[in-house]
Amino acid sequence: MPGFELWSDAERKHVNDVLETGILMRYNFDGPRKGIWKAKELEQEICNRLGSKYAQLVSSGTAALTTALSALGVGYGDEVIMPAFTFVASFESVLSVGAVPVLVDIDDTLTLDPAAVRNAITPQTKVIMPVHMCGAMADLDALQAICKEHGLFLLEDACQAFGGSYKGKKLGTIGDAGTFSFDFVKTVTCAEGGAVITNNEDIYIKSDGYSDHGHDHIGNDRGAETHPFIGYNYRISELHAAVGLAQIKRMDEFIGIQKKNHAALKNILATVPEISFRRIPDEAGDSCTFLSWSLPTAAITNAVVNEMKEQGILAGNFYYYNNNWHYIRKWDHLKNSVTLNALSPELKEKVIHHANKDFSASDAIIGRNISTLINLSWTEEQLKEKGEKMVAAVKKILAKHSVSI
């Protein structure tokens, strides 16, 4: 999955272009930078490859979500519906703009359950935010229909699914806005970085200003720019953009390798009848960063995880049920609304309420799921060995649990 696995001279060249000018900031210094505008180039490349009208680079995926929510006007009193299986940045960004993160159950896509979304809508709901976890997409047709019916924004958190698509459209381009992360372990990396993409000019203009202290970026004198609204510093640097510019030009290469390795590993695991696989609304659009597979029960799954750990083959296999970063079960800081800056009593009460709801439907899915990272650097021999060892571990546990194999 991570682009850093296949580091090349291309990344070094683009970084050296910036170092040779000494201009590390993305804005101004027009003369000394000698025509080197890596952030602008990367934004245009994102638009070209994804089919989006606008792209605004920022410092992280978290910054992208915060910026997009602000550009959509989300704030005090608003509710944002999101899945209980995501990365902590999803709810952090909602809290950062003063809104309420409303977590709901997932379905067998490992993404938002449309039925749970419908049940969670209130007069305060403003945004539905699907998170395309582990490289594959939510049921966007169903979610779009709900948004249209209720007059809501659709914000795609595609931070884990860069390059994926849904029915011929790239993920992130289907909603009112989409966000990406380009951190160190993403398919395309800037080391640290993110982006907001949209086809809406107003959302783009607001994202552009909000991520740079509210600057309107009109003219070529930064000191003379006005500030139509208050913003924050979520800028990306030219050094980070340079890395991403090299990486995005290799996007097709990376995703091609992911798809090949994903298919090969899936074929090996599919030899075990008790193993089932995640439902993907559009399998052709899976970016294949992970292979997500399930076993008959949570007890068997936990035993397989422990067996792989004992054998030293757990690396790259994620059991999110016990993961501190990605699933509601371990988010005690959210459940207790532990913050360094005090939330309003009203917001704190709502955060605690929504984080402590019954997520047993999601538990039943995540408790049986293992997601295996698809590496770009595997040789055929390494992939085959990994798959066979995983299968052997699974069969050993199935035999112990008296499950036919």
* SS3 annotation, 167-195: CCEECCCCCCEEEEECECCCCCCCECCEE
Global pTM value? 0.97
pLDDT given at position 404: 53
Rounded Cα–Cα distance for residues 174 and 158 (Å): 11
Same domain for 291 and 200 = no
In this structure, the answer to whether residues 23 and 130 fall within a common structural domain is yes
- Identify the CATH number of the domain in which residue 304 sits: 3.90.1150.10
Beta-bridge partners for 292 = 371
Q: What is the pLDDT of residue 2?
A: 86
Q: Which of 126, 170, 186, 350 is catalytic?
A: 186
Domain boundary among 216, 251, 286: 251
Length of the chain: 405
Report which DSSP code applies to 107. Answer: -
- Residue 359 domain flag: yes
Are 363 and 233 members of one domain? no
372: exposed, middle or buried (C-beta count within 10 Å: 0-12, 13-18, 19+)? buried
Q: Is 128 left (phi over 0), alpha (psi -120 to 50) or beta?
A: beta
Handedness of CA 64, 70, 76, 82 (dihedral sign): negative
Instruction: Tell whether the torsion through CA atoms of 137, 141, 146 and 152 is positive or negative.
Output: positive
- 8 is a domain residue: yes
Residues 192, 315, single domain; the answer is no
Whole-number pLDDT of residue 405: 47
Residue 276 lies in a domain: yes
Please choose, from the candidates 306, 270, 302, the residue with its C-alpha nearest in 3D space to the C-alpha of residue 366. Answer: 302
For residue 126, indicate whether it is catalytic. Answer: no
Residue 155 in any domain: the answer is yes
- Three-state SS sequence of 375-402: CCCCCHHHHHHHHHHHHHHHHHHHHHCC
Is residue 125 situated within a structural domain?
yes
101 plus 124 within the same structural domain: yes
Same domain for 26 and 167? yes
| CATH (domain of 202) | 3.40.640.10
Copy the structure tokens of residue 333: 């800081």
Instruction: State phi, psi for 32 to the nearest 5 degrees.
Output: -60, -25
Query: Which amino acid, one-letter code, is at 3?
Result: G
Looking at residue 402, its pLDDT comes to: 75
Residues 274 and 239 in one domain: no
Q: How many CB atoms neighbour CB 388 within 10 A?
A: 12
| CA gap 336, 348 in Å, rounded | 9
Do 244 and 263 belong together in one domain? no
CA distances from residue 41 to 64, 186, 253, 294, 359 in whole angstroms, order as listed: 18, 20, 20, 41, 43
- What is the chain's percent helix, strand, coil content, to nearest 5? 45, 15, 40
User: Alpha-carbon dihedral of residues 402, 291, 61, 9, nearest 10 degrees?
Assistant: 140
Domain assignment present for 405: no
- Please tell me whether residues 245 and 262 are part of one structural domain: no
User: Which residue, 190, 219, 251, sits at the end of a domain?
Assistant: 251
Domain stop point among 251, 272, 305: 251
Tell me if 60 is assigned to some domain. yes
Whole-number pLDDT of residue 403: 59
Question: Residue 321, exposed/middle/buried by CB under 10 A (0-12, 13-18, 19+)?
Answer: buried
Residue 89 lies in a domain: yes
In sequence order, what DSSP letters do the residues of 253-302 get, joined into one string? HHHHHHHHHHHHHHHHHTTSTT-EE---TTGGG---SEEEEE-S-HHHHH
Spell out the per-residue pLDDT of the chain, length 405, in tens: 788 999 999 999 999 999 999 999 999 999 999 999 999 999 999 999 999 999 999 999 999 999 999 999 999 999 999 999 999 999 999 999 999 999 999 999 999 999 999 999 999 999 999 999 999 999 999 999 999 999 999 999 999 999 999 999 999 999 999 999 999 999 999 999 999 999 999 999 999 999 999 999 999 899 999 999 999 999 999 999 999 999 999 999 999 999 999 999 999 999 999 999 999 999 999 999 999 999 999 999 999 999 999 999 999 999 999 999 999 999 999 999 999 999 999 999 999 999 999 999 999 999 999 999 999 999 999 999 999 999 999 999 999 997 554
Asked whether residue 342 falls in the same domain as residue 320, the answer is: yes
- Please tell me whether residues 222 and 311 are part of one structural domain: no
Instruction: Let me know whether 356 and 260 are in one domain.
Output: yes
Contact 334, 341 (CB under 8 A): no
- Smallest CA-to-CA distance from 178 within 151, 142, 211, 203 is with 203
In b/e form, how buried is each residue of 29-55, taking b as 16+ CB within 10 angstroms? beeebeebbbbebbbebbbebbebebb
Structural domain of 18: 3-251
Q: Looking at the 3D structure of the chain, how many domains does it have? A: 2
